[in-house]
């Protein structure tokens, strides 16, 4: 069983969200909650692409039986704000979609491409009025609304300790990393772990 | 020297575009030509993400010394039309961006993530009034406007023979492949090469 970089949250199930009841929010890239649960964003594939990785892991000793791509997207409104400020506004949502990888297909003979199997969808949400820690993680099982991952899950501590910007792994989003560097919004912990060469 | 799936066009230099002079077109996702040459789309990273691959190649015998990701994007207007019809409208532009891949960095210990080095940008454009074959390829060297790749380059024949939809490699864009299958817009040559199991 392999763990992707932001897949620490998989497996958590208990609900611990903040606002008990809330009406569905406006359309566009706004998120929709059903009680404490978050609906899977319907159109995240039309959001802004941040980056893609392959088999990313915290551990160098894993031996997975298959390859997986991870694609990261952010809602356009948050992306536009990041372009201006180098950090995330309230109501940011970053989606990590994991997909199966294929080697042989059509004219491809080497390397890997993404296939039709979505293996997981996780969302990292900033909502200052909804979550006491400002950010929350959700992991979806199919299309059902998902409860918030409890804040004692390892993902929260790891993101707080190692993420480049405001608990998000901007170090793996190349166009945003250079922007955050220019705008001096990199976290103190990230700078301490990654001193300039 | 490795060749990516749509990198057959690299190395071509001669100009052979159709319309001799044309004024810059409207903003948004419209392309801008400077005489015969195409300007590199400034904001393609904000277009719709189609998919990403790693080290994709026509040949199984290559031994590259490094890894590369390829990210494919399409202009939003063309994407919306594809959602309705399963094929590409006039003024479609598909961008393939290739980026260097890193293994070690921050907390990552396995797998690969994308770094800041853009190694190439290529564009496949449909413009029925501009190109006699409807589609044209451009490969950019830095930010300079690029001439059209001559139509006797191998990329044109390969895309015509093997591409799933209207000379484009939709077989590597998982969300579009299922749509094209449903809407019965897959090319005859693709269907012949990839019979249903």
Whether B105 maps to a domain, the answer reads yes
Whether A144 maps to a domain, the answer reads yes
Would you call A63 helix, strand, or coil by DSSP?
coil
Residues of chain B in contact with residue A106, where contact means CB-CB under 8 angstroms, are 162, 164, 169, 171-172, 190, 193-194
> What is the per-residue pLDDT across B105-137, written as a single tens digit (0 to 9) for each?
776 667 899 998 899 999 999 999 999 999 999
Considering CB atoms only, which of B60, B114, B171 is closest to A110? B60
Considering CB atoms only, which of A52, A79, A111 is closest to B71? A52
| CATH code at position A84 | 3.50.70.20
pLDDT-above-90 percentage for chain A? 70
Phi then psi for residue B93, to 5 deg, are -135, 120
Which single residue is written with the structure tokens 């960095």?
Answer: B105
Q: What is the ipTM of this complex?
A: 0.84
Parent domain of B109? 7-150
Residue B101 predicted with pLDDT over 80:
yes
CA distance A83 to B169: 31
Question: Which of the four pLDDT bands, split at 50, 70 and 90, describes residue A66?
Answer: confident
Size of interface A-B (CB pairs under 8 A): 133
**Which helix (DSSP H) or strand (DSSP E) does residue B137 occupy?**
strand B135-140
Domains identified in chain B, total number: 1
Q: Name which of B46, B79, B104, B110 to mutate to probe chain A: the one with the most chain A Cβ atoms within 10 A of its Cβ.
A: B110
Whether B179 maps to a domain, the answer reads no
Whether B186 maps to a domain, the answer reads no
For residues A92 and A14, the model is more confident at A92
> What is the per-residue pLDDT across B172-186, written as a single tens digit (0 to 9) for each?
999 999 999 999 999
**Do β-strands A68-74 and A37-38 pair in parallel, antiparallel, or remain unpaired?**
unpaired
**Which helix (DSSP H) or strand (DSSP E) does residue B124 occupy?**
strand B110-126
Whether B158 maps to a domain, the answer reads no
Q: Name which of B8, B56, B72 to mutate to probe chain A: the one with the most chain A Cβ atoms within 10 A of its Cβ.
A: B56
> What is the per-residue pLDDT across B54-73, written as a single tens digit (0 to 9) for each?
988 766 665 567 899 999 99
B177 touches A: beta carbon within 8 Å: yes
Whether A164 maps to a domain, the answer reads no
Question: Which of the four pLDDT bands, split at 50, 70 and 90, describes residue B96?
Answer: very high
Which single residue is written with the structure tokens 């964003």?
Answer: A41
Q: Name which of B159, B168, B174 to mutate to probe chain A: the one with the most chain A Cβ atoms within 10 A of its Cβ.
A: B174
Residues 6+ apart with CB under 8 A from B161: B189
Whether A125 maps to a domain, the answer reads yes
Whether B169 maps to a domain, the answer reads no
Residue B169 predicted with pLDDT over 60:
yes
| Shortest Cα–Cα distance, A4 to chain B (Å) | 9
CA distance B100 to B114: 6
Considering CB atoms only, which of B62, B107, B114 is closest to A52? B114
> What is the per-residue pLDDT across A138-166, written as a single tens digit (0 to 9) for each?
999 899 999 999 999 999 999 999 999 99
């Amino acid at each position: 069983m392999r763990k992707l970089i932001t897949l620490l949250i998989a497996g958590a199930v208990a609900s611990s969200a903040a606002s008990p009841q809330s009406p569905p929010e406006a359309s566009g890239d706004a998120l929709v909650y059903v009680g404490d649960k978050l609906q899977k964003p319907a159109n995240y594939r039309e959001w802004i692409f941040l980056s893609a990785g392959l088999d990313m892991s915290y551990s160098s000793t894993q031996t997975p039986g298959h390859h997986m791509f991870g694609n990261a997207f952010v809602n356009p409104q948050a992306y536009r704000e990041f372009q201006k400020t180098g950090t995330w506004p309230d109501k940011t949502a970053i989606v990590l979609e994991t997909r199966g990888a294929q080697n042989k297909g059509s004219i491809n003979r080497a390397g890997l491409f993404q296939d039709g199997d979505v293996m997981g969808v996780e969302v990292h949400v900033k909502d200052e009025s909804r979550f006491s820690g400002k950010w929350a993680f959700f992991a979806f099982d199919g299309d059902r609304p998902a409860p918030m991952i409890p804040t004692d899950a390892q993902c929260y501590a790891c993101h707080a300790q190692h993420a480049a910007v405001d608990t998000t792994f901007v170090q793996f989003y190349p166009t945003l990393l250079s922007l955050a560097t220019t705008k001096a919004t990199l976290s103190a912990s990230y700078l301490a772990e990654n001193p300039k060469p």
